[in-house]
Amino acid sequence: MRILIDMDDVIADAEERFLEWYERDFGVRYTKEDVRGTKLHFIVPEENRKAVKAYPHHPDFFRDLRVIENSREMVEELHNRFEVYIASAAMEFPYSLPHKNEWLDKNFPFIHWKRRIFCGDKSVLKGDVLIDDHDFNLSVFQGRSIMFSAAHNMNETKYERMNNWLEAEKLFDLK
Amino acid sequence: MRILIDMDDVIADAEERFLEWYERDFGVRYTKEDVRGTKLHFIVPEENRKAVKAYPHHPDFFRDLRVIENSREMVEELHNRFEVYIASAAMEFPYSLPHKNEWLDKNFPFIHWKRRIFCGDKSVLKGDVLIDDHDFNLSVFQGRSIMFSAAHNMNETKYERMNNWLEAEKLFDLK
């Protein structure tokens, strides 16, 4: 069984980086509860929207993102039993690619470079399972689509859901 | 119809770069005829083999590679009619990723970032056609596998072959 796993907001906490950088630049700390069902650039004052949308284009944005809770252990567990790939639709941010790769080297060193994919759109990927936080990725995937819960997708009801990594045990019958 | 097209030695002349750098470092100019059916590191004196194998790990290796003859025009022609993706198994050389992306921006600007894939192994890609110079990529692909002729693969007989980009016209019935 081949399982494709997204990076941002599935194993790497990009939402947190938006909140951090916004506080750094504008002195206001929003919380994940504030961005529930939406995205930061929709809730900030209009004059700051452009700056927020530009954050992921900055070469440092993806550096040292926090590892999502329990993802390392559970991805390793899946990796030991199944054919696991990390698939990030990162091509929009080309300067992030080496950083994302370094981040994997550091935090998920058991994922061989052969099992890493940076693409633009995930319709081109073939697998049995996709774990992702975005409707636009899950909807074009032909296997089992599992939505990993992120603040922005909490109102989405279309998919089987993984609320946190501990739930992988039940979803993949790991016991 | 979705057509996946490899980069190195299909649209970007990496073989030439090996020959150039070898001449720069060791003062001997091998030709593509010399590497026919093999690879440069197999034919150079043993003491230089390691240096040659390290070339693609150098961050500049993939910069400004020559565009393979007629590839730009013919890929654009295919792109206008079909769903074309550029898929490079580049993950072994993570520092090349931004350079490869810049190379596409410069030489194949009509290939949107959504249609670019950097992966480790191509078995994970889904498409109807793969144009590639390597047996190890073509053999794991489930669609129509077309071998693009490079010096190193001239003895391979297993695949439908494209000897040069002008042959795309006939292979894809473009007239």
| Inter-chain Cβ pairs, chain A and chain B, closer than 8 A | 83
Q: Which of B92, B95, B117 sits opposite A119 (nearest CB)?
A: B117
Hey, which bits of B19-158 come out as E strands? 83-88, 116-119, 129-132, 144-148
CA distance A96 to chain B (A): 8
Q: Which residue of B has its CA nearest to A121?
A: B114
Mean pLDDT split into 10-residue runs, chain A, 175 residues: 97 97 97 94 95 93 96 97 96 90 97 96 95 96 96 95 97 90
Reported ipTM: 0.90
C-alpha B74 chain-centroid distance: 15
Are the beta carbons of B124 and A119 separated by less than 8 Å? no
Annotated catalytic residue A8: yes
Encode pLDDT of B93-116 as tens digits.
888 899 999 999 999 999 999 999
Provide, as residue numbers in chain A, all residues whose Cβ is less than 8 Å from the Cβ of B119.
116-119
Are the beta carbons of B120 and A98 separated by less than 8 Å? no
Q: What are the boundaries of each domain within chain B?
A: 2-13+66-171, 14-57
Q: Considering only the top CATH level, what class is B2-13+66-171?
A: alpha beta
What number of helices (H) and strands (E) belong to chain B? 7, 6
Element (H, E) at A78: helix A71-81
Say what the pTM is.
0.93
Question: Which two three-digit tokens encode residue A101?
Answer: 């790769």
The answer to whether B4 faces chain A, any CB pair under 8 Å, is yes
Which of A108, A124, A128, A137 has the most B C-beta neighbours within 10 Å, making it the best mutation to test the interface with B?
Answer: A124
